[in-house]
A and B are shown apart, each in its own frame.
Chain A
Amino acid sequence: MSKTVFPPSIKSRPVYGELEARAGSGHLMIADAEGAEAILDLAKSADAAFWAKAHIIYIPKGTGTKYSSQLEELGAGQYYAGPSYEAAQSRIRRALLDCHMGTQVYLTGTESLMGQAMAEATAAGIPHTAIQTEHRGSTARRMQCVHCKGITEDVTTDPFECSHCGLSLFVRDHYSRRLAAFQGVRVDAEDPGNIPEKVELFK
């Protein structure tokens, strides 16, 4: 799957770039699903010395083993594949604790993965502008219900039902870097019960 072009939107909506191998004392790469393709693309311009200092943390999600062997063959100093972001989180935190200034962070795959890993990396002290990102794969969104504060992952329709309180929520581009989530607002707040038909906006 190729890179996604998002339509221009409000300022809070994150924008993503294209990963490039940069000089650094280490390379922490965190990816999910089709994000593997961005790492494989970057591999075309990175040498063995680069990979020796690299740590790949990969969450295949729905892609199963499609990319696993190619990623392993890159020869990264450390390679980890895990079942979910939640499962990988303690490893991400530990990796950030161990690295020094000069380490480059590369995030790629879904917005949910990039947003959550970005929050960890910035909390660890890396300026967000110094962290590289590239969107690949699903455009499904991680949404926060502004009413009950619950998070619903992989939202593909607008409106959608909050997985915590059940309200029908309008999908906004308003994004929280702290929560790594877009904001969902009750769609029938003014006129209870008047809920527009769901449209599949994200795949």
Chain B
Amino acid sequence: MSAGTAKLNVTVAEVKPINDLVTRFKFVRTGGGDLPTFSGGAHTVVEMQDGDITRLNAYSLMSDPADRGAYMISVRRDDEGRGGSKFMHSQVKEGMEMVISNPVNLFSLDLRAKKHLMLAGGIGITPFIAQMHQLSMMGGQFELHYSVRTASLGTYAEELSAQYPGKVHIYHDDQDEAIDLNTLLATQPLGTHVYVCGPKGMINWVHGTSEDMGWPREAVHSEEFLAPASGKPFEVKCAVSNKVVQVGEHQSLLEALEAAGIDAPYLCRGGACGQCETNVIGYDGKFLHYDHWLTDEQKAGGKHIMPCVSRFEGKTLVLDR
């Protein structure tokens, strides 16, 4: 069960292809009425009923936080992925009823900042679109540096450049354009916070470079949702519920617990928020930790696991669930 998040019944109001890879979905409340308010950077977990499988994927809300009439998300199709984005692209049609979670924000703006420096890579643009709506309404100072593969795959690049002239800078990989991170970080006035959302390499690059340049850790924010990695099937014993659960090759441990009727907590389902942290009672084997939450010491200690993304290989694993 997700902590403190009631579900929202919504109807798909619009399905709009943006380019070859990205499609935008608009949700309104089924039966009418306002949706809960949210803040820029928030995401929602979309439930997809894909045959027998319930898929739960987190997507950043990209609509104007001041608009409570509808939510919008953009989904990049991942043909190598586990099927959530493919389901969104192929099965979700206008008029369809769906269930989504209340918005949760793990990537909020630090409103103490005097300036917000946003670095986006690819589909990582979506939370920034909501944040820019929010900041322009508040008169906040921001600057977006957005790295895209090609102009045709530059999701919303043209619209944003037109909407926020002088504040949006686009970099095209195919034209060998790249964000000059060192210069950018060296020239920011005191009180600037930097936000990065994009591929793992980009996030690590920004964290590493800013640290080397003396930026305070508290002024550097990132969000990366991990898709649960596939891996060898394994078995887990749940001590509290007294159940033995099989985790399939393309299933996450969290999904397997849910399928077995075990009420496990979650929030982001992407290794970021820490909500699903579970105590390990005993094990004989090796953990495959993929999350951003546990410290390196905790990962080595063998006492905790994040079931949303991490796996296990070995003889036995006993969890406190």
Closest to B114 in A: A125
Whether B113 and A101, one on each chain, are in contact in the complex, defined by CB atoms closer than 8 angstroms, is no
Contacts of A115-149 to chain B: CB distance below 8 A: 124-127, 129-130
**Residue total for A at the interface (Cβ-Cβ under 8 A):** 18
A104 at the interface (CB under 8 A from B): yes
Q: Does chain B have a CB within 8 A of A30?
A: no
A25 touching B216 in the complex, CB below 8 Å, given contacts A125-B191, A125-B192: no
Q: How many residues of B contact A (CB 8 A)?
A: 19
The answer on a CB contact under 8 Å between A101 and B218 is no
B214 touches A125 (CB 8 A): no
B150: interface (CB < 8 Å): no
Instruction: Digitize B205-222: 1 where CB-to-A-CB distance is under 8 Å, 0 elsewhere.
Output: 000000011111111000
Binary flags per residue of A91-125, CB closer than 8 Å to B gives 1, else 0: 00000110111111000000000000000000011
Indicate if the CB atoms of B212 and A101 lie closer than 8 Å.
no
User: In the complex the two chains form, what is the Cα distance from A104 to B187 in whole Å?
Assistant: 15
Tell me which residues across on chain B come within 8 A of A77, comparing CB atoms: none
Q: Is the CB of B214 within 8 A of A25?
A: yes
Q: Known: A23-B212, A125-B113, A125-B114. Contact between A130 and B187, CB under 8 A?
A: no
User: Does A101 contact B192, Cβ atoms closer than 8 Å?
Assistant: yes
Q: Which of B112, B190, B217 contacts A101 (CB 8 A)?
A: B190
**Which chain B residues lie closer than 8 Å to A125 at the CB level?**
112-114, 189-192
Which of B185, B191, B218 makes the CB contact (< 8 A) with A102? B185
Contacts of B187 in A (CB 8 A): 100
Cβ-defined contact, A102 with B215, below 8 A: yes
* Given A25-B186, A125-B190, A102:B113 Cβ within 8 A: no
Q: Is A13 an interface residue (CB 8 A)?
A: no
What 0/1 pattern do residues 13 to 57 of A give for CB contact below 8 A with B?
A: 000000000111100000000000000000000000000000000
When C-beta atoms are compared, the residue in chain B nearest to A124 turns out to be: B190
Is B188 in contact with chain A by the CB < 8 A criterion?
Answer: yes
Most chain A CB within 10 A, of B190, B217, B219, is at: B190
* Chain A contacts for B217, CB-based, 8 A: 130
Taken together as a complex, chains A and B put the C-alpha atoms of A129 and B113 apart, in Å, by 15
A-side contacts of B112, CB under 8 Å: 125
Rounded to whole angstroms, the CA-CA distance of A97 and B188 in the bound complex is 11
Q: A82: shortest Cβ distance to chain B, in Å?
A: 22
Complex: A102 Cα to B187 Cα, angstroms: 9
User: Which residues in window 167-192 of B have CB below 8 A to A?
Assistant: 185-192
Q: How far is the CA of A127 from the CA of B212 in the complex (A)?
A: 17
Instruction: A103 to B188: give the CA distance in the assembly, Å.
Output: 11
Q: Which 7 A-B pairs have the closest CB atoms?
A: A125-B191, A24-B214, A130-B216, A127-B218, A102-B214, A101-B188, A125-B190
Q: A96-B190, A125-B189 are in contact. List 5 more A-B contacts (CB 8 A).
A: A25-B213, A101-B191, A102-B213, A124-B190, A130-B219
Interface residues of B (CB under 8 A from A): 112-114, 185-192, 212-219
